[in-house]
């Protein structure tokens, strides 16, 4: 039995990153929260969300959902890299 894997690659030009199909990976950022009995994984660069019963399952499901999302978005341009930082708020 033969399997086929499509990966998402990235090209750069004119200060923008563009997704294309070639054997390479793009690293995106996921925020995972625990809500009731589920872990919810959200991609911070694009509006894709998934869930799972464990952190690993939520992350794997998000990766699968992102792969499907990008299949329908040929040449999608990623936003500039995110700046992730903690924020202190008085309690």
pLDDT digits (tens, 9 = 90+) for 20-63: 555 567 788 999 999 999 999 999 998 999 999 999 999 999 99
Which pairs with CB-CB distance under 8 Å and at least 24 residues apart come from 25-31? 26/78, 28/66, 29/82, 29/84, 30/59, 30/62
| Distance between CA atoms of residues 18 and 73, nearest Å | 11
Please give the pLDDT value at position 4: 34
- Torsion 6-8-13-16 (CA) sign: positive
DSSP, collapsed to helix, strand or coil, labels residue 49 as strand
Indicate the pTM of the whole model: 0.68
List the end-to-end C-alpha distance of the chain, in Å, as a whole number: 58
């Amino acid at each position: 039995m033969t399997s086929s894997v499509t990966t998402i690659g990235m090209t750069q030009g004119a200060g923008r990153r563009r997704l294309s199909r070639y054997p390479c990976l793009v690293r995106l950022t996921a925020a995972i929260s625990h809500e009731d009995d589920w872990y919810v994984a959200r991609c911070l660069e694009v509006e894709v969300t998934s869930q799972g019963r464990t952190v690993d399952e939520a992350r794997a499901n998000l990766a699968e959902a992102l792969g499907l999302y990008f299949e329908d978005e040929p040449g999608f341009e990623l936003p500039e890299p995110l700046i992730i930082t903690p924020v202190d708020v008085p309690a």
